[in-house]
Structure 1
Amino acid sequence: MNNAVAVYPGSFDPLTVGHEDIVRRSLGVVDRLIVAVAETATQAKSGLFEIEERVDLIREVFADEPRIEATSFSGLLVDFARSRQARIIVRGLRAVSDFEYEFQMALMNRSLWPEVEVLFMAPSTRHTFLSSSLVREVGRLGGDVTDFVSPVVKARMDRAFGRDA
């Protein structure tokens, strides 16, 4: 590879095993991946963790991989990517319903910065149904999220919901 740098943006609230799957598989395509927590949500969502806590969780989960960087960003994604010399944006597509929104975003980003490429990745079939919103809701209602998040994320979710792990 030619020192290919990519950005994987999202809310990651919480980081799920589906996100982890996309992150680790991205390293088969790029040399370095910046997992970037958006400070401004593109869709209305009720959050669980503050931005810095999400960044910290990402750092903890991927502490074993030096090619992964976790940070936050505000403003336009293409401006952030350009500032980090990342010409690739990684996006996961769980279902056809994700495609229309992601396709529009990809075209807009290409319009704003023609040199950027968007890499759409399908999740592993066992993670297709996962979304942060769904995991958050299951956790909030007392359900077991063990299979959907890493142990460090589960422990932090239990604390956030007032349950000791």
Structure 2
Amino acid sequence: MRITAVQGDITAQEVDAVVNAANRAMRGGGGVDGAIHRAGGPAVLEDCRRRFPNGLATGEAGWTTAGDLPARWVIHVVGPNRNRGETDRNLLTSCYANALAVADEIGATSVAFPLVSAGSYGWPREDAILAAVETLRGTPTQVGDACIVAFGADAYDAVRRLVGA
């Protein structure tokens, strides 16, 4: 798999699937989650309600339509909220591994990932980047292209240093 760093808006990525850093309720929220729901329109929330009536557990992944996004699908993952005591790194890495499994299930070969849990959930950015890159590199998948989308210049530089692209 080719892993690249991208600076910008995850909702603008022209890939098969974008990964959403969702909350357990799967009903929209702040940060990446809110941006994806706003840009994708009501179809994303409607599909979340239909497919995930009880939400998703931390570390799990599932997909919905992408609505008005340029992508075909949204793969929702629920990252650990470090600010609320969820400090098991395996929960974070399982987000990436489970997202790749879902991508394989739906036939997505290009996927855009945010830095799961590195925003309001309080995971240290450097470790969040390392967890993402290690898991993407170490998980067997049919995904050929994965990009890690960083919103700010500092985060982008840190991702770029680690992935070498």
TM over 0.5: no
Provide the TM-score with structure 2 as the length reference. 0.39
**Structure of higher RCO (CA pairs closer than 8 Å, 6+ residues apart):** 2
TM-score (normalizing by structure 1): 0.39
